[in-house]
Structure 1
Amino acid sequence: MTWDLPDHARLRELLAIFGFDLSRARPVEGASVACGDALEPLAGDFAGGLFYLCGDLGAERPVLYASSEGQAGLIADDPREALQLVIGLPHWHDCLTFNDFERKSAPTSQQAEAADLLGLRIPAQEVLLERLRAAVLRSTPDYVFTDETGEYEPLIPQPERAQ
């Protein structure tokens, strides 16, 4: 999936409900990742966090989230997976904050409507949680995020690496 979303007012409204507000995408001074990939702001959330598409057109483009509290990391391998995550698991932030990869919730009609408008199949929450955890753990060292305020902490504590 390239980053070409349908220009649909209801879809934009639904995505904003899920904390993926396309109108909040904004460039940030000095935003970069350690590997040097280009960063394209995609959306923002209610708390001031931003979602970025990493890399150049034609390449694999993972999605990175940078919170307003100074944590950042990959959340998905591509935009499709990021949309599946924010729609299928709207409380994904809580899963990271509490390191609670078991939290589940019942699907809503808004989730079904957003998925339908995007032509997405939303995987089971267990699958979304495992993808999220795997992406976050792949963030270090290549996708360590920095902006004008300095280097951000990982979204979850990283396991010690053998030297």
Structure 2
Amino acid sequence: MTDHALRLLRENPRLAALAEFPFDFCLDRAEYGHVEPVRLVSGGALEIVAGDAGGGSYFVCEDGSVLYADSEGSAGIIGSGFDEAFEILIGLGGEEDLDEEEEEYFGYEVARAELRAALGFPERSRVELEALLDAAQARTWPDFLLLNAEEGCAYELIGPPPPPLWECVRRPDGFAGDPADEPLYTWTDLALEQGLSNVARAALIQRFDAIYLDQGLLRRADDPTRLDTAELTLLADRLERVGEPLPAEGARRLHAALRETPDGSRTR
């Protein structure tokens, strides 16, 4: 997890130019910041080091991991360190969307070879690089879940979905039944008891985001024409407990806005 490649890119204009074209990795865009204020659910430090033409940003996290966030609300870890992330970026860049003639026209292979030689990267197959990327993305949740710092909502994960919560905690002895039948709050409360605050925090924020986007998740099992908004109060309390006042207030506002009429319709 070194920053050898980042240092060389910053020192060598030729390498920085190759990174920007054709790989759309522009160091100068870092000075403009991301499209909106962001933070990690863990509260860890973030340093923006580059951006792309679409408004996406590359961040180096406190432990050296590199996180990419696009301008449309998706983010994920793309490397355990800058060297690995940049090796993956140039190794996979361009090949998926371009045919062989377009690759040659835009100069991907030539630029890739020059960057690899200058930065000391080994020759790796696409399969190897994809495996590295998959492993990196799988580390995003929960600690590196990215949040909008002004609203408290989470970015969509780039990569695989998070594991079931019951796989993230130590289940009590004698636990019986299908863990999937237990409510979310069984597992978030257990996570907090076990000191896994980021697991609980990430899960609660994502649950509120899901409800905010689809209030149909609150439909009553005994009467699907009506909503049971009690979960929003529960969510607000839990979000306050884990130190997330912004989504907690959002849950309270949504609870207040959803008023059911006798025929089951709702107003905001």
* TM-score category, normalised to shorter length: 0.7 to 0.9
TM-score, structure 2 length as denominator? 0.51
More strand per residue:
1
Q: Determine what percentage of the aligned residue pairs are the same residue.
A: 35
Q: Which residue of 1 aligns with 2:43?
A: 36
One-letter code aligned to 2:121: L
Max Rg structure = 2
Cα deviation for residue 83 of structure 1 reads 1.1
Q: Which residue of 2 aligns with 1:99?
A: none
For 1:122 and 1:48, how far apart are their aligned partners in 2? Answer: 30
For 2:95 and 2:147, how far apart are their aligned partners in 1? Answer: 22
For 2:67 and 2:54, how far apart are their aligned partners in 1? Answer: 16
Q: Is the 8 A contact 2:141 2:162 kept in 1?
A: no
Note if 1:9 corresponds to 2:10: no
Q: Which residue of 1 aligns with 2:86?
A: 83
Aligned residues: 149
Cα deviation for residue 127 of structure 1 reads 1.1
Cα deviation for residue 157 of structure 1 reads 4.6
Note if 1:23 corresponds to 2:31: no
C-alpha RMSD of the superposition: 2.4
Higher relative contact order (CA 8 A, sep 6+): 1
For 1:61 and 1:92, how far apart are their aligned partners in 2? Answer: 27
Gaps of 5+ in 2: 98-102, 167-268
More helix per residue:
2
Gaps of 5+ in 1: 95-104
Q: Is the 8 A contact 1:84 1:123 kept in 2?
A: no
| 3-state DSSP of counterpart to 1:115 | helix
Q: Is the 8 A contact 2:137 2:160 kept in 1?
A: no
Q: Is the 8 A contact 2:145 2:154 kept in 1?
A: yes
Cα deviation for residue 44 of structure 1 reads 0.6
Q: Which residue of 1 aligns with 2:59?
A: 52
Cα deviation for residue 122 of structure 1 reads 4.0
